[in-house]
Amino acid sequence: MTERNAIEARNVVKTFGQGDTAVKALDDVSVAIREGEFFTLLGPSGCGKSTLLRAIAGIWPWWQGHLSQPEDFGARAMFLPQRPYFPSGTLREAVAYPQSSDGLEDAHLARALTRAGLAHLATDLSAEANWTQKLSGGEQQRLAIARVFLKQPAWLFLDEATSALDEKTEAVVYQALLDDMQARGGTVISVAHRTSVAKLHSDTWHMPSAPSAAIA
């Protein structure tokens, strides 16, 4: 039976392509994550971690199986990919995206940036740029993390969202993120590259074996 405050995915199957070149990325995978858990998906590159994470976050519907999510999940969840998107324009708009920055106080935005390790940007929220070009990969990932501090989701999905940071910075930023989520009883579901990050989670789950290359 499905728990009310849990994500439960059952018998998830996803095949990419057809015929000789088909790849079964997920082959009857089932997983349950309860509210308040810090859960990390582990496994070698290509074993289906990103595919499963997108499926259980509900941001990508092209798979077979069953998914149940808590009530009002969509409004309380955030997904951070490895390469976040930023609109060109002011820094204020880039942090607030996809919401409007109207009505958000500068002090609130600056605090979110500072907590994500971007204090050097927090003094000029009106600066305009193509942020994807202007910022390094690590800064872009921290800018996306600032959105978490700003919006305070109850459910947070991280798909190698700190991979461009050096190990020390990554540990500091990740811990700040987890402390913030824990203070609100939030749930974190991560795909993390380094074991130092995986260790910060309370639950680890090794994905079943790598996908079959061709299933035709």
Q: CB of residue 17 vs ligand ADP: minimum separation in angstroms? A: 6
- Restricting to residues 172-211, which ones interact with ligand ADP according to CB under 6 A? 211
Using the rule CB under 6 A, give the single segment among 42-50, 60-68, 131-139, 170-178 that binds ligand ADP.
42-50
Q: Which does residue 126 touch among Mg ion, ligand ADP, none (CB within 5 to 8 A, set by kind)?
A: none
> Does 50 interact with Mg ion (rule: CB under 5 A)?
yes
Does 82 contact ligand ADP by CB under 6 A? Answer: no
Spatial contact of 38 and 188, defined as CB atoms under 8 Å apart: yes
Minimum Å gap between C-beta 159 and ligand ADP is 7
Q: In this complex, which beta carbon is closest to Mg ion, that of residue 41 or of residue 178?
A: 41
Name the percent of the chain in helix, strand, coil, to the closest 5: 35, 25, 40
b/e 132-171 (16+ beta carbons within 10 angstroms → b): beebeebbbbbbbbbbbbbebbbbbbbbbbbbbbeeeebb
What is the H or E stretch that residue 173 is in?
helix 167-183
Residue 46 binding ligand ADP, by CB under 6 A: yes
> Could you tell me which residues come within 8 angstroms of residue 71 by beta carbon, excluding any fewer than 6 positions away?
4
Q: Which residues bind ligand ADP (CB under 6 A)?
A: 16-17, 23, 25, 43, 45-51, 211
